[in-house]
Amino acid sequence: MHFWRASVLVLAAVVAGQAFAQDAALRIDAAHPRIFLVPRRLKLLRRERERQSLRWNQFNLLMAGKAPMPEPGFAAALYYQVLGSADAGRQAVTWAVGPGADLRQLALVFDWCQDLLSDAQSKTLAAKIARLMEQTRRDTSVAVVRNRVLAAVALSGHVPDIPERELDQALHHWWEGQILPAITAGRESLARDDTYALMEILHAIRDNLNQDLREAAPRFFSDLPMVHLLSYYPATFPAGENDYRIPAAPHSGEPDLRRAALSRAAEFSMVAYDSNAPGSQILQGWLLNDHFLMRGTFGAPYEFLWANPYQPGLSFFQAPLVLHDALFGRLFVRSSWEESAAWLGSFSGQLQIFQDGAVTSLDPHANAEPLDLGRALILFGTRARTFKVALEGARPVFVVGLKPRQNYLIEIDDEELAESQTDPGGILELDVPPNTELGIQLRESPR
């Protein structure tokens, strides 16, 4: 009995020691600000203020003019860090310790306005943040996990245990235990609209824990810039403050301009995270068109925070017009980079075409005729399995509407019988010789 009790005590001591070591590895003792405003970025933003850049002038115009900001804590705290306006900082603090209830903004105010907080305000705000972290701890959506990660980074060293436990949960249980297995299995656990929140997580973790979460999913992240680029509808949307590019949406209706603004912010944050990646360089060329510079009260703080107008970019005309994302079963095709282009998207169970300024949902059960978008030929395989194809030049040929992850036998005139598997979206890419007119027959493999 004494031996058993001693063994239990030793085991408990080992586990406690491992937990302590893990907590110590996740503890952040860096000076504030810790979130996003690393010294190099803060220096850039303050230089933008000195140079009276277009983005600073727009942000300053809104803040100095007391425009009602949709995210008052975020905007006022950022203004304080760049301008040094104590009035703006106190405004952010008053909002945070008072009516503020957005965990992400509370974390930013605690971090960016730390030197303005009295001891009482610091304790009050820390307790409020910790309480909101606990209230949302069962929510594993990307945006809410992001909120808790930012809160943990801000609170680390100010309250015991809670920040380190949250970072451990986010890194090991959520990212490694939930998100990465889903990506590997081809499940769309990270939707397009999650990208901005995801990028905030990546920035916060790398800046404070020196970990690059992309390394475990290199294919997903290398594809991400082009997925973003190709999944916009071609036509832009004119709004009162600026024009917007509109991301493809599963449901029809009026464009969601806040969603469009966060999409642009996500792309700026991708470039800021890795400006040398080929996809980032093309994104930068896409973003630098000031025609789309966000001037409204929601978008202007994001535009100013993340944009680097001095970073060179490549022309987006060098980007491909066809993107088949076989990892998640998505297909995007544009006929050109002009706003009048035709566009097709197969994503998240949707099949859409954009032509003449309008989006139309296609029913693969009702469509049988091939759809020629110039850059690619689309065949509908839900009803038909035999096709006549005439190709001028070399173009990719895709069959949509098939069973997901199903093996098909492919018989092309004058070619050997081949077998291939559809992706998670039921899309099959065919290897068809250029400048030919031939027949194609598909049938499910018996294996």
Distance CA 265, CA 307 (A): 8
- Cβ contact 270:225 at 8 Å: yes
Residue boundaries of the structural domains of the chain: 2-316, 320-444
Q: Quick one: which of 396, 407, 347 has its CA closest to 373?
A: 396
**Pairing status of strand 377-380 against strand 397-400:** parallel
Count of residues for the chain? Answer: 447
Those residues with Cβ within 8 angstroms of residue 22's Cβ, 6 or more apart along the chain or in another chain: 164, 168
What are the structure tokens assigned to 416, written together?
A: 């050997």
To the nearest whole number, what is the mean pLDDT of the chain?
A: 92
Q: What is the mean pLDDT of residues 310-338?
A: 95
- Say which residue, 331 or 384, is predicted with more confidence: 331
Residues 434 and 428 sit within 8 Å (Cβ to Cβ):
no
Mean pLDDT of 94-114: 98
Of the candidate ranges 167-176, 323-332, 335-344, 430-439, the one whose mean pLDDT is the lowest: 430-439
Average pLDDT over residues 316-344: 95
Where does the pLDDT of residue 23 fall: very low under 50, low under 70, confident under 90, or very high at 90 and above?
A: low
Instruction: Give the pair of three-digit tokens for residue 238.
Output: 């004119």
Q: How many CB atoms lie within 10 A of CB 181?
A: 11
Residue type present at position 56? W
User: What pTM was estimated for this model as a whole?
Assistant: 0.92
Label residues 377-400 b or e (16+ Cβ within 10 Å = b). bbbbbbeeeebebebeeebbbbbb
Pairing verdict, β 397-400 and 428-430: antiparallel
For 151, other C-beta atoms within 10 Å of its C-beta total 27
Distances (CA, A) of 6 to 14, 20, 182, 260: 12, 21, 42, 61
Fold of 2-316: Glycosyltransferase (1.50.10)
Other Cβ atoms closer than 10 A to 124: 15
Where are any strands of DSSP class E within 302-376?
322-325, 330-334, 343-347, 350-355, 358-361, 371-372
Phi, psi of 435 (to 5 degrees): 55, 50
- Token representation of residue 118: 């009295």
Higher-confidence residue of 129 and 348: namely: 129
Of 231-235, 245-249, 435-439, which gets the smallest average pLDDT? 435-439
- pLDDT band, residue 22 (cuts 50/70/90): low
Look-up of token digits 């097709």: 344
Neighbours of 231 (CB within 10 A): 19
Both tokens assigned to 187 = 């499940």
What's the pLDDT score for residue 165?
Answer: 97
- Position 107, amino acid: A
Residue 219 has pLDDT above 90, yes or no: yes
As a whole number, mean pLDDT of residues 326-354 equals 95
